[in-house]
Amino acid sequence: MVEPGARPLPLELLAYVASLPLPALVFSNPTSTVEELQAPIAQNKALQEVLGGSTLAACLTKVQQKEVLKLFAGRKGSVEEIELDLRIPATGETRIMRFSITRSLRVLILTAIPPSPISFAFPSPSPPSTEASAPHSSITTITTDAPTKPPASPKPPVFSLPPDSPVELQELAAMTWDAPIGLLWADLYLNVLWCNKRWFELAGLPADANPNAWPAQVLPEDLPAVQAYAERMTDTLEPCELEFRWVSNDSTESWCVSNLDVVRNTVGERVGVVGSLYNIQKRKTRELKDLREKEQYRAIREAEIAKAAAMEREMALLSKMSTVGLVRIDLEGHFIEANDAWYSIVKLPRDAPLDDWQKLVHPDDIDEIMNNWAIALKTLTPLEVTIRWIYDEISLVQAAPNHPDPAKATGWIGSVTNVTAQKRAEQALLSVSQDREADARKAAEEAEAQKEVVIEEKRQQELFLDVASHEIRNPISAILNNSEFTRSSLEELKKAFVELQKTGSVPSVFSSKIVEDLDEDIEALDSIHSCGLAQERIANDILGLAQIQLSKYKISPIEFDLSHSLRNITRLFKTEAKAKDIDLQLEMGSSIARLGPHARVFADPTRLAQVCVNLLSNAMRFTATSKIRKVTLSVEVSAVPPNRAGPFIPPPETEFHIDKSVPVYLFFSVADTGPGMTEEETSQLFSSKPFFHTTMGGTGLGLWIVKNLCELQAGGVEVSSQPGLGSTFRAFITARSVDAGLPPAESAEKVPVMDGIRHATGIGSAPKVVLTKTAEVLPLKGMTVLCCEDNAINRKVLERQLKKAGAAEVLLAVDGQEGLDLMASDLQRRVDCVVMDIEMPVLDGLSATRIIREREKSMNGVRTRIVGLSGNARPAQIQMGLDAGMDAFVTKPCVTDLLRELLGHENTASSEVMAPVPTPAPKLPILTAESSSES
């Protein structure tokens, strides 16, 4: 019985397939042992020819045998394939075969498909048996136990088998439908009458399609060859074979091979055409890959050969055209061949042996060159030498083995280049370089000498500054101190006469106008004091200008009390303000409370004071002739920097707090009611050179110094002025806070703990500070002070000041040596402190201080406090004094600071460090911020 859905086969086709078409083996079903694999039931003639008479088992390895047995173990009705490399024992060659297994009820048929069927010559079909050749009109159904399959398409013409056909033939017919290769039956005109399922699949046709529609599935490029193939078959009726490509519905190509042959009946008549069709896509892919690899290799090889030939031609042309001499040398060092350039450079005649080049080498160099050449030949290492020829030319010669691996070298390649011009240029350049080096050394020596001159000039200038400062400040100090002493004495005398007048006890020898005369004398002393201050400020400006030009100005920040420093600065102008009837005010805004309870900042108090003093000096001078005479110094602080484009006023802020150790900005403004200035005048104030006022006079140095000092402290200065309305100078500097400010709630309700601020108000609206006198104190009471000062006037002034401060005894010495002698003459009388001038004859203050400290160490004595005194305390000079052993340093004339330093900041109004100012008034009373009618 035929499998349901399968198409019955013509008897002739069954006989053909059974006997001829492919190498095949028939095994008992099922089989699973190697023994049965070695002894199949049948092995057809075609397979025997392929295997050279050997059995299949003999051509398989044990691993391959296991793979074939895995095919046998599949389920019934399935078709599987495997590709193996068979080694034919008879010939020893290897054949690639693809095996397909087909299962029926009782047998397994293993079909071997060669990669190219062209290599097989199929025998002519044996005449089928009489019984099988007789056609039958009835349809006989052949059945097997294979799974039932539904019909895939309308059945083509059906041929029947005799009812008494052998069972094996019926099974073969059923398996042909599922054969792994396509099979067809056609008439002699190649009209397809029947084809199996695999043929439809390979042709890309649906199972229900007309099989004669196959030409549409052929790749158009291959269709002419296929048509010729069909025509050849119909014309000759001889076996034909063709490889061509099908096109599937998804446009992919698939290679197949088709075989056609004529089938004859028992009497030898041609009754039809039988054909096979199977897929050779894998083989074609492999062949195409191999072909592409061969073509690629051949192309690469041809390209390499062409490149080598081109390179050889180019090298020959390059050697001929090169201006560098090239030569070939054997391993023994004999020259074989050279190009034209070599002959031209070496100047060796062409008819002379190449090895005669040695005769042209300069005699002084030949031994060294030949020795180097012998070493290179022996070690096969590259050589590079410079050769001088006997004709006064120089060449660079290079030689190297002709292979990267010296062991494989067959000779040497050498080159020679004429470097005569280059060597001569190098020699000339060397000569020029030597000349330049000599010039450079000479210039360096001259520069060093000039540098020494400049350094010496600068040292002389610094020395001049020190001497000038010392010599200028000494008489000014005497003027200021003596005028203040005399004024103080006259004030006391005046008070005494006023008391005598009240009681009528004035002696008759005194005029009734004695009090008026005393007032005039006091006013004269005030004028003298004012002139002394003016002269001191001018001297300070001149010395400051020199320091700026010498780049000697430096910022030395320390911690100090800002409010105390400002009060000291204001006190400097108290006498001048009173003499000129100027209302001098100091306004410290409530923002100062942000700096903490003591208003301490980290900045340079000396430079800050210098800025304020210069601005106040100008304001006092320009306001002296106005109807309304008022000068106000206002101070604010902010954590926000100002707009550097101006104006320099504290930015509006909502917070009222400054943290510890953060950048802060100190704002100073000096407003006066003077005559004011025009826009043209204000534009020239801070130019690159000092401005001299044509009407009011002045050196113009003060503002120029102010500008430089503000910029050194990351700040700036500006002015706003109108003629007739006065001027306002605004400046700011950058500092750092020391303490944290008061919390916002406290700063709004409590009075900041700072002298001079009555209550907290808004920014820019601080109250006026009123300065009053208090009872005089004696800070040096009972102390013995040694004063070493070479200037007699200053020595006398210091003696009076020290005694007035309460000193029990003041020892005077004109130089350091005399001071040492005084200290050593009476050891029972201990000196409590020493005032030591720096510049003195015989023995200067620094040397005397060192000797005192050495004596204290050797005697294990108590350390005596030593305060240095100088007219020009430069930072370097201060450091020299501290290094020598001084405890402090004071600039003349500064008696208040001197007293504070002598006491080591003890017994003062505050334990905080006081900020020094350039020119404080001598022996001023201790002042507090109490209300008084006198300011």
Kindly state the average pLDDT of the residues 154-172. Answer: 48
CA angle in degrees (0–180, nearest 5) for 887-889-895: 115
Q: What is the predicted pLDDT for the residue at 381?
A: 92
| Residues contacting residue 667 through CB under 8 Å, at least 6 positions apart | 635, 636, 637, 638, 642, 648, 649, 650, 730, 731, 732
> Which pLDDT does position 570 carry in this prediction?
86
Same domain, yes or no, for 636 and 683?
A: yes
Q: What is the pLDDT of residue 28?
A: 59
User: Please, what is the average pLDDT of the chain?
Assistant: 75
Pair (52, 193) in one structural domain = no
Q: What is the DSSP string of 209-276?
A: S-GGGGGGGB-TTTHHHHHHHHHHHHHH---EEEEEEEE-TTS-EEEEEEEEEEEE-TTS-EEEEEEE
On whether both 701 and 565 belong to a single domain, the answer is: yes
User: Is the backbone peptide bond immediately before 220 cis, with ω within 30 degrees of 0?
Assistant: no
pLDDT tens, 617-635?
A: 888 888 888 888 999 999 9
**In this structure, what DSSP letter does residue 768 have?**
B
How far apart are alpha carbons 657 and 20 in whole angstroms?
113
Question: What is the amino acid identity at position 599?
Answer: A
Please check whether residues 700 and 637 belong to one and the same domain: yes
Is the pTM above the cut of 0.75? no
Instruction: Judge if the upstream peptide bond of residue 10 is cis by omega within 30 degrees of 0.
Output: no
228 and 280 co-located in one domain: yes
**Residue 9 pLDDT more than 70?**
no
Q: 901: which 2 tokens? A: 């330093």
pLDDT at position 884, please? Answer: 92
Whether 6 maps to a domain, the answer reads: no
Pairing of strands 253-264, 240-247: antiparallel
Query: Do the domain assignments include residue 567?
Result: yes
> Residue 727 maps to which CATH number?
3.30.565.10
Residue ending a domain, among 526, 541, 565, is 526
CATH number where 847 lies = 3.40.50.2300
Residue 582 lies in a domain: yes
Specify the DSSP element, H or E, that contains 671: strand 663-672
pLDDT, average across residues 310-327 = 81
Looking at the structure, tell me whether residues 103 and 218 fall in a common domain: no
Least confident residue range of 37-51, 142-156, 466-480, 559-573: 142-156
What is the pLDDT at residue 866? 92
| Range with lowest mean pLDDT among 507-516, 595-604, 721-730, 815-824 | 507-516
Sorting pLDDT into bands at 50, 70 and 90, what band is 17?
very low
- pLDDT class of 728 with cuts at 50, 70, 90: very high
Token output for 847: 């040397």
Cis ω before 156 (30° cut-off from 0): no
Judged by average pLDDT, the poorest of 196-200, 520-524, 586-590 is 520-524
User: Are residue 457 and residue 588 in the same domain, yes or no?
Assistant: no
* Average of per-residue pLDDT across 140-161: 35
What is the structure's pLDDT at 847?
A: 93
pLDDT at 924: 29
Q: Which domain holds residue 278?
A: 167-288
Q: Does 479 share its domain with 575?
A: no
Where does a domain end: 262, 288, 314? Answer: 288
Q: What is the pLDDT of residue 114?
A: 56
Higher local confidence (pLDDT), 510 or 65: 65
Residue 921 lies in a domain: no
Separation between Cα atoms, residue 198 and residue 195, nearest integer Å = 8
CATH code of 377's domain = 3.30.450.20
Count structural domains, the chain: 6
* pLDDT above 50: residue 11: no
Of residues 560 and 903, which shows the higher confidence score?
A: 560
Residue 187 has pLDDT above 90, yes or no: no
* Greatest mean pLDDT range, 264-273, 515-524, 714-723: 714-723
Kindly state whether residue 765 falls inside one of the protein's structural domains.
Answer: no
Identify whether residues 699 and 829 lie together within a single domain.
Answer: no
Same domain, 397 and 455: no
Indicate the SS3 state at residue 360: helix
pLDDT of residue 895: 60
Helices 845-859 and 875-884, interaxial angle, to 10°? 20
Q: Classify residue 84 as exposed, middle or buried by CB count within 10 Å of its CB (0-12, 13-18, 19+).
A: buried
* Domain identity same for 624 and 698: yes
Q: What is the mean pLDDT of residues 28-43?
A: 63
Assigned domain for 375 exists: yes
Q: Does residue 643 sit within a domain?
A: yes
Q: Is residue 153 situated within a structural domain?
A: no
Indicate whether 90 and 172 sit together in one domain: no
User: Could you tell me the maximum CA-CA distance found in the chain, to the nearest angstrom?
Assistant: 193
